[in-house]
Amino acid sequence: MERATGMSDFARSWTRAGSPRAMAMQLSRTRREFLRDAAHLALGGALLSKSPLVRGEAAQKRRKMIVITFGGGARDQETFAPEGQHNIPNMLSQMAPQSSFFTHVTNDGILGHYVATASLTTGSYETLNNFSAVPPEHPTVFEYFRKDLRRPATDAWVVAPSNGFNRIGESDSRSYGQGLGAAVILPKHLLAAATPGSTVDVDHLLRDNYENPLYTPQLSGNPFDLEQLENVLRLSVSDFLSHARTLSSPDELSVYIAKRLMEREAPSLLWITMHDIDVAHSGAYSLYVDGIRRTDRLCAELWQAVQANPEYAGKTTMFILPDFGRDSDYDAGGNGFQHHRTGDVASRTTWMMALGAGVREGVVYDQPVQSIDLVPSLGAMMGFSAAQSAGKPIRELV
């Protein structure tokens, strides 16, 4: 009998491309071909290199940015590869044709959700403990934005999934840091606070950290509390609870809060971290795919909310990107979709969709960018300097 050497026919088809870089390029080409066929997007290299961004101080002042992390961690074959298309009907048919789509986004940092999201917000690969509620080391986009543009605290917000993300709004950088960050809303924390003693009918909205489900880090800093729920969001505890009971997942709760925030505060910089997909860590594939379908629907809901809100319509740029991917089915060190532990190409290579004001519509860009390039790009678009970021502005966006 022929002896396998760790790579039989099935794996050869995957590894045919050779080096990790070649495999990443193959992934990105697959995304491009699919989007060209399914969503009729054009290849960006054939177009003008400069973005259609409306420049000028007045335009920048009015501009709003919303970043959604499509989390936590989704692979191509369940999203933008041909076999995943049925899981993302909204993004594919409604949003992709309006977007500039970047097919090759790499994350070279630590693939844990808090540390990776923190890296996205700072534009530097953070090395903090993923399971500790500690602030990022480098200044966040919220600090750059508020300090450089002299914006008030009410103009930058984060809606985040779990207690571990409570410190993501503000770094401990000496030159930025305290008082210059974004307020962080943890909808699940609010819900738990609103239901002291019994959470029976909203338990399904309180699922926390799937990477390490036994731990809910203790809150530190100044968490957004029930009093602010009433003062800032004009939402009574009873109304909040009544609405929460109609929802089916933590991310639905986050989107509800985000939309309320848009209506009441209309922040110029809003960062929403989705997390339902990370149920994949439980090993149940059906729940992982359900999470992707729900997140697809929620992204579309948010985009529709932007169009329906006069404060946002026509002047908002929305970015959607997974914080990273998940392990390949073929990496022997992992267990496929379940985790993101191997650091293989599938877990490090993902995509980004940019749509709205200043973004060219219906274009696919193949050239590699890094996830840490997002913050400098936001800076170039909004007029602040991400001085300590290790990334660089994405040419096609600025």
Partner 1 sequence: MQPRDLQAEQFGKYPPQARQVAAAHLQLLRQLPIGFLPSLLRQVKEYDFKFPAERASIDRELTCLSALSAPQLAEWFKGFEALKISPALERFDWVNAPSQFVEQQSAYLWSTHQLDAFRDTATAYGARLRGDTPTEPLPMRRLGIAVIGQEVASYDEELFHNLRPHGTYFHQIRPEGGLDLLLGAVAERAKQSPQPYAHWYVDGGESAAVETPGVTRVSYKSLEGTRTALLNFMQEQIQKPGMGPEELRTRLAELEPRDAGMDAAADPVLSRFELKLLTEGSGTQIFSTTFAQWTAREALRRAQPLTLLVRFAPRQRQRPMNELLANTQTDAAADLIGSLVDADMGAYYHWINQQRLDGANEAVFIAWFEGHNQAIAVGPTLARGVQSGSAMDLGQLMKFAMG
Question: In the complex, which residues of this chain contact partner 1 (CB under 8 A)?
Answer: 1-6, 8-11, 20, 83, 108, 110-111, 125, 127, 131, 203-204, 206-208, 210, 212-215, 279, 281-287, 289-290, 329-330, 332-333, 335-339, 342-344
Whichever of 65 and 206 has its CB closer to partner 1, that residue is 206
Q: What angle do CA 255, 256, 257 make, to 5 degrees?
A: 90
Distance from CA of residue 240 to its chain's centroid? 25
State in angstroms the smallest separation of the CB of 326 from partner 1.
13
Whichever of 4 and 58 has its CB closer to partner 1, that residue is 4
Q: How far is 52 from 64, CA to CA, in rounded Å?
A: 16
Per the CB < 8 A criterion, the answer to whether 138 and 389 are in contact is yes
Per the CB < 8 A criterion, the answer to whether 278 and 291 are in contact is yes
State in angstroms the smallest separation of the CB of 224 from partner 1.
22
Q: Tell me the angle at which helices 187-194 and 237-244 cross, rounded to the nearest 10 degrees.
A: 110
Whichever of 3 and 150 has its CB closer to partner 1, that residue is 3
Whichever of 94 and 212 has its CB closer to partner 1, that residue is 212
b/e code 172-194 from CB counts within 10 Å (16+ = b) = ebeebbeebbbbbbbbbbbbbeb
Nearest partner of 296 among 94, 106, 34, judged by Cα: 94
3-state secondary structure of 157: strand
Whichever of 82 and 383 has its CB closer to partner 1, that residue is 82
Whichever of 327 and 396 has its CB closer to partner 1, that residue is 327
State in angstroms the smallest separation of the CB of 205 from partner 1.
8
State in angstroms the smallest separation of the CB of 7 from partner 1.
9
State in angstroms the smallest separation of the CB of 209 from partner 1.
8
State in angstroms the smallest separation of the CB of 204 from partner 1.
6
